[in-house]
Amino acid sequence: MRATNGAGCSCLQSLGLRCRNYLALAGKHGMGKKKIAEQSAEELPKDKAAAEGGAAKPAQVKKSRRLESGRVYINASYNNTVITVTDEQGNVITWASAGSIGFSGPKKATPFAASKIIAIISEKLKAVGMSNLHVFLKGIGGGRDSAVRSLANQGFNIVALKDVTPIPHNGPRPRKLRRV
């Protein structure tokens, strides 16, 4: 039998290690109440001064750029319509979808929802000063044609209109034919 020194279990002490029983007795186990460190009186005023804004940085104001031309990506799926506007380099200026403006369920893929998206995006584009647009259409949803018509009706000059819907060149093997 191994001797204990009163500090806990002796099962691993011969190897120079301490078992979990010793750690539990010493109060170093992971369970139980966590200790909360209290701040001293000297540290407290320093934090209050920083919180009140004594050393706070002023908010940075984002400068709006004036852009004349950009790209509009219209992704019209069966379930939703997403419209993204970028500059010529591809940096996103604004975006909106039917779901983000409050439409839900099957109403998201309607032509009416697409025209409302364009109305919201056109306000943002007019603030930036964009007038010439290259439009890229993707998908076969209901809001596809309505979005392009709404862009033209809002007074934007559509420079190019390109369909980038992915089309499979033969694609995967089709399902077996259903026999009725």
Q: Considering the domain boundaries, does residue 149 fall inside one? A: yes
Give per-residue pLDDT as tens, 28-66. Answer: 555 556 666 666 656 555 555 455 554 445 555 445 678
Q: Considering the domain boundaries, does residue 99 fall inside one? A: yes
Q: Considering the domain boundaries, does residue 78 fall inside one? A: yes
Q: Considering the domain boundaries, does residue 83 fall inside one? A: yes
pTM (2 decimals)?
0.61
Phi-psi category of 129—alpha, beta or left, where left has phi over 0 and alpha has psi -120 to 50?
Answer: left
Q: Considering the domain boundaries, does residue 24 fall inside one? A: no
Mean pLDDT (the chain) is 79
Identify the domain containing residue 123 by its residue range.
69-163
Q: Considering the domain boundaries, does residue 29 fall inside one? A: no
Q: Considering the domain boundaries, does residue 115 fall inside one? A: yes
Please, which pLDDT band fits residue 22 given cuts at 50, 70 and 90? low
Provide the b/e sequence for 110-124 (b: ≥16 CB within 10 Å). Answer: bbebbbbbbeebbee
User: Could you tell me the CATH number of the domain that includes residue 158?
Assistant: 3.30.420.80
Q: Which residue has the higher pLDDT, 67 or 164?
A: 164
Cα distance between residue 7 and residue 140, in whole Å: 75
Counted domains in the chain? 1
C-alpha to C-alpha distances, 132 to 17, 68, 116, 135, 163, nearest whole angstrom: 75, 6, 20, 10, 18
Q: Which residue has the higher pLDDT, 171 or 5?
A: 171
- pLDDT score for 61: 45
- pLDDT score for 31: 56
Q: Is the pLDDT of residue 27 over 70?
A: no
Share of the chain above pLDDT 70, in %: 64
Q: Considering the domain boundaries, does residue 175 fall inside one? A: no
